């Protein structure tokens, strides 16, 4: 009986300590495989591939040799079966392109805020007219960057195969020509463990 | 005996079983939710089951809470509940092939009843979860999110389709005395057509969402599948002819011959699509058979559906030009009955094992000396009572689903209209030329709720 008590207390202690959760910092660029869903590693792989491909593409190199072309990023259309924040993908890509010093960007998501601010500067009567930025002085974009993210998911009893394809294109707004295009494929296979909780 | 009890308690705690529906049958737990939904204060309904979402049967309660919030028009709250249900399904998907907690639950079910096994909904419920989640996204203005859910339900639909052939055979191959009669009865109630296995309403909803959100090609595929399951729906036939013409599909001539030429909207007209959901899906009933083994009383309880006689009326929609008569697209009760029929073989095996385990338990507490001296054996009586009381049929299923879904579609001049279903209070909707007004009508019996959105 006494033994039983000791064993019980031991089990309780082990059980309690196992339940304690902890928080740790990890490396943001570490490979993440918590599950097969679209994750940070996929996002980073896509952004790196797209930016590399674009900056080394000869016509784009020529285009940016003496000039910093202005572009804007249209939405990446999410055609997968997961709720993915595609704005975050385009943010990473535009960040990298901007940091390369070869392009300049217009942020279309902030047009409304800018309009409100200019409206305030020009029409509220609160701002010194000589310092107010007047309407119609912004520079138009020459290129549009856009893309599609699609996926194919297949599943049978124990295996799940997820395939992602991100396609991106750069369009010259004046001529309508596609100046650059590339795709990044990602395949993830998940197999169920045989024994577990 | 002590050891056995200890073992049982241990296994109970191991599997972390849900005591909710173990002793109180599930339909009676959900009855107040349905009563609230069919009252003037449907907002209260989700609150009743909200706290159970984290329990072992959380999946089921999350579905009920999500649907309740949806009927009440709180699409954001419904989205959260459905997301919880989706996560719960994921956990099941990710489980190992030989899962210890599953084994624990199954073992516990041998001493108590099947309600201790965490609820894992049948395929059609999971498809409907994503279908309803898509409508949540749409009605809260996120078309892209809606399409994501549509694609998810498409993925599940195709796996259901693959399962359909297989299960059809396994259900037929089953033969087992009185239970066989019960299965046959269920078979008659559900019918043996495709519509009792596959849900035309889900296909139609996903197709319709594809169409109004600018993917007519995908819509055509889903409409065709819906038409295979529910071939006599006139609105679906018209949709198919129209899309075949618009997409210049090779089937256009054939469809035109069968159902007449496509009707296209005129310039100043807008499209009105109406989805009507009526009633609540029937509850599982329990079929209890008492018998004795070695002089000890035992019962076996199985879930079943009793046939319902009443048919669902077709909705008459007034206020949109000529009176529109909605046409049924799917009977959810038939799907529920088929799902139960498919589940019976496994339930029977567990039942047989349970009868054996319980009779062994009853025998092990019996005292030979007491029996010989004709004394009352309280332990044996207590065991028999325990056995009979714990023997409860597994009556869990998603109960806030509608009994039948109907559809209607028409083109009408742009403007404001007052739409009325049967004798319910009218509701005003707006139609814009070249756009689609989607009206979702949920009729819970005493109350009819209208939700509309212009796309």
Distance of alpha carbon A86 from alpha carbon B94, whole angstroms: 26
Handedness of CA B389, B390, B393, B395 (dihedral sign): positive
Contact residues on chain B for A85, CB-CB shorter than 8 A: none
A53 within some domain: yes
Residue A60 lies in a domain: yes
Chain A residue closest in CA terms to B90: A35
pLDDT(B221) > 60 = yes
Q: What is the CATH number of domain B2-454?
A: 1.25.40.10
Which pLDDT score, from 0 to 100, does residue B15 have? 47
Nearest CA in chain B to A77: B144
The reply to whether residue B99 touches residue A194, judged by beta carbons under 8 angstroms, is no
Q: Would an 8 Å CB–CB cutoff place A196 in contact with chain B?
A: yes
Task: Give the pLDDT confidence score for residue B388 in this predicted structure.
Answer: 77
Highest mean pLDDT among B76-85, B248-257, B306-315: B76-85
Q: pLDDT tens for residues B242-280? A: 999 988 888 888 888 888 888 888 888 899 999 999 989
Q: Which of B91, B129, B155 to mutate to test the interface with A (most CBs of A within 10 A)?
A: B155
Contacts of B162 in chain A (CB under 8 A): none
- CB-based contact, A153 to chain B, within 8 Å: yes
Domain boundaries, chain B: 2-454
Per the CB < 8 Å rule, is A197 touching B97? Answer: no
Distance from CA of B195 to the nearest CA of A (A): 24
Domain presence at residue A7: no
Whether A13 maps to a domain, the answer reads: no
- Read out DSSP for A118-155? HHHHHHSS-S-TTTSPPTT-PPPPSEEEEEEEEEEEEE
Q: Stretch A17-27: mean pLDDT, rounded?
A: 76
Neighbours of B27 (CB within 10 A): 18
Residue A152: inside a domain:
yes
Contacts of B410 (CB under 8 A, 6+ apart): B271, B272, B320, B321, B324
Label residue B18 by pLDDT band (50, 70, 90). very low
Q: What's residue B336's pLDDT? A: 87
| Count of structural domains, chain A | 1
Is the pLDDT at B174 greater than 80? The verdict is no
Q: Which chain B positions have a beta carbon within 8 Å of A157's beta carbon? A: 97
Instruction: Indicate whether A2 belongs to any domain.
Output: no
User: Which distant-in-sequence residues (6+ apart) come within 8 Å of B82 by Cβ?
Assistant: B62, B63, B66, B129, B132, B133, B136
More confident position, B13 or A30: A30
- In this prediction, residue B16 carries a pLDDT of 44
A117 contacts chain B (CB < 8 A): no
- The answer to whether residue A58 is domain-embedded is yes
What is the distance of C-alpha B56 from the center of its chain?
A: 19
For the segment B237-242, the average pLDDT, to the nearest whole number, is 91
A142 Cβ under 8 Å from any chain B Cβ: no
Supply the CATH number for residue A98's domain.
Answer: 3.40.50.10610
A54-108, pLDDT tens digit by residue? 999 999 999 999 999 999 998 888 999 889 888 899 999 999 999 999 999 998 8
Q: Does pLDDT of A196 surpass 90?
A: no
What's residue B39's pLDDT?
Answer: 87
Spatial contact of B333 and B186, defined as CB atoms under 8 Å apart: no
Q: What is the average pLDDT value for chain A, to the nearest integer? A: 87
> What range defines the domain where residue A92 resides?
38-111+140-191
- Asked whether A154 and A130 are in contact (CB, 8 A), the reply is no
How close, in Å, is residue B67 to chain A by CA atoms?
21
Q: Which residues on chain B are in Cβ contact (under 8 Å) with A80?
A: 148, 151
Return the C-alpha torsion angle B105, B108, B112, B118, nearest 10: -10
User: Cα–chain-centroid distance for residue B309?
Assistant: 20
Percent of chain A with pLDDT over 70: 90
Number of neighbours of residue B5 by Cβ within 10 angstroms: 12
Q: Is the pLDDT of residue A7 over 70?
A: no
Statement: residue A109 has pLDDT above 80: yes
Higher pLDDT, B275 or B101: B275
**What's the pLDDT score for residue B367?**
73
What number is the ipTM of this complex? 0.74
pLDDT at B81: 93
Residue B407: is it exposed, middle or buried by C-beta count within 10 angstroms (0-12/13-18/19+)?
buried
Which of B185-194, B199-208, B251-260, B326-335 has the lowest average pLDDT? Answer: B185-194
Q: What is the pLDDT of residue B170?
A: 52
**Best interface-test mutation with B: which of A83, A150, A160, A194 has the largest number of B CBs within 10 A?**
A83
């Amino acid at each position: 009986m006494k033994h039983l008590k000791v064993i019980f207390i031991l089990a309780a202690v082990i059980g309690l300590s196992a339940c304690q959760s902890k928080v740790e910092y990890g490396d943001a660029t570490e490979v993440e495989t918590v599950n097969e869903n679209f994750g940070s590693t996929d996002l980073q792989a896509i952004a790196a591939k797209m930016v590399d491909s674009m900056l080394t593409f000869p016509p784009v190199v020529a285009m940016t040799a003496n000039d910093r072309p202005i572009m804007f990023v249209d939405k990446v259309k999410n055609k997968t079966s997961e709720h993915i924040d595609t704005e975050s993908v385009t943010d990473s890509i535009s960040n990298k392109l901007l940091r390369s010093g070869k392009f300049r960007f217009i942020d279309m998501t902030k047009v409304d805020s800018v309009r409100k601010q200019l409206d305030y500067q020009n029409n509220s009567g609160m701002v010194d007219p000589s310092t107010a930025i007047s309407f119609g002085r912004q520079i138009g974009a020459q290129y549009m960057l856009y893309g599609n993210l699609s996926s194919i998911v297949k599943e049978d009893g124990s295996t799940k195969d997820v395939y992602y394809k991100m396609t991106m294109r750069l369009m010259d707004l004046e001529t309508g020509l596609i100046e650059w295009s590339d795709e990044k494929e990602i395949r993830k296979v998940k197999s169920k463990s045989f024994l577990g909780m | 005996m002590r050891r056995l009890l200890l073992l049982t308690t241990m296994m109970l705690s191991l599997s972390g079983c849900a005591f909710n529906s173990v002793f109180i049958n599930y339909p009676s737990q959900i009855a107040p939710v349905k009563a609230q939904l069919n009252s003037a204060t449907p907002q209260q309904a989700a609150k009743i089951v909200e706290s159970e979402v984290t329990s072992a049967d959380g999946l089921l309660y999350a579905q009920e809470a999500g649907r309740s919030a949806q009927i009440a028009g709180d699409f954001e709250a419904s989205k959260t509940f459905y997301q919880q249900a989706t996560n719960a399904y994921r956990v099941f998907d990710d489980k190992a092939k030989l899962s210890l907690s599953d084994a624990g639950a199954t073992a516990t079910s041998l001493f108590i009843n099947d309600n201790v096994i965490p609820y894992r909904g049948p395929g059609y419920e999971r498809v409907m979860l994503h279908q309803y989640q898509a409508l949540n996204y749409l009605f809260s203005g996120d078309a892209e999110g809606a399409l994501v859910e549509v694609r998810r339900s498409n993925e599940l639909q195709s796996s259901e389709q693959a399962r359909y052939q297989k299960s059809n055979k396994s259900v037929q191959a089953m033969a087992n005395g009185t239970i066989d009669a019960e299965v046959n009865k269920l078979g008659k109630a559900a019918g043996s057509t495709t519509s009792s296995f596959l849900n035309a309403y889900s296909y139609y909803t996903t197709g319709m969402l594809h169409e109004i959100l600018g993917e007519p090609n995908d819509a055509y595929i889903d409409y065709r599948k819906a038409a295979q399951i529910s071939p006599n729906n006139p609105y679906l036939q018209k949709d198919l002819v129209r899309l075949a013409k618009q997409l210049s599909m090779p089937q256009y001539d054939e469809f035109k011959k069968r159902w007449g030429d496509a009707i296209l909207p005129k310039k100043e007209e807008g499209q009105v699509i109406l989805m009507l959901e009526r009633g609540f899906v029937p509850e599982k009933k329990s079929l209890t058979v008492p018998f004795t083994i070695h002089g000890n009383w035992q019962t076996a309880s199985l879930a079943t559906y009793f046939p319902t006689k009443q048919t669902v009326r077709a909705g008459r929609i007034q206020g949109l030009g000529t009176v529109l008569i909605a046409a049924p697209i799917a009977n959810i009760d038939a799907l529920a009955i088929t799902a139960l029929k498919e589940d019976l073989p496994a339930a029977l095996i567990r039942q047989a094992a349970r009868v054996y385990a319980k009779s062994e338990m009853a025998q092990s507490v019996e005292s030979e000396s007491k029996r010989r001296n004709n004394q009352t054996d309280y332990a044996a009586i207590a065991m028999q009572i325990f056995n009979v009381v714990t023997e409860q049929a597994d009556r869990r299923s998603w109960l806030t689903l509608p009994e039948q879904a109907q559809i209607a579609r028409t083109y009408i001049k742009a403007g404001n209209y007052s739409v009325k279903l049967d004798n319910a209070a009218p509701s005003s909707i707006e139609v814009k030329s070249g756009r689609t007004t989607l009206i979702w009508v949920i009729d819970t019996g005493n109350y009819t709720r209208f939700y509309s959105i212009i796309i």
